[in-house]
Amino acid sequence: MMKKIFIEGMSCAHCVGHVEEALKEICGVKSVSVNLEQKFATVELAHEVADEKLRAAIDEAGYEVVKIEG
């Protein structure tokens, strides 16, 4: 299962690292790929993970989730 998360507030590679780390800590997340230029993260899940968990991890890292698809 894949989800695409649109994120505001990322401005550099350091930001990308923060978002990747935050998402990888969630149980069920298999892989994360962040596109800084287009402002989204693609997350591959091993099993269903609530959007609220993904949103909370990104919020806690200091960024804003615009929307989640998938």
E strand or H helix that includes residue 67: strand 64-69
The predicted pLDDT at position 12 comes to 96
Place of tokens 């507030």: 9
Domain boundaries, the chain: 2-69
Count of CA atoms in the C-beta half-sphere (13 A) of 17: 3
CATH number of 2-69: 3.30.360.10, 3.30.70.100, 3.30.420.40, 3.40.630.10? 3.30.70.100
pLDDT digits (tens, 9 = 90+) for 22-39: 999 999 999 999 999 999
For the chain, which ranges sit under pLDDT 50?
none
Nearest C-alpha neighbor of 55 from the set 13, 26, 17, 30: 26
Cα torsion at 7, 1, 49, 60 (round to 10°)?
-20
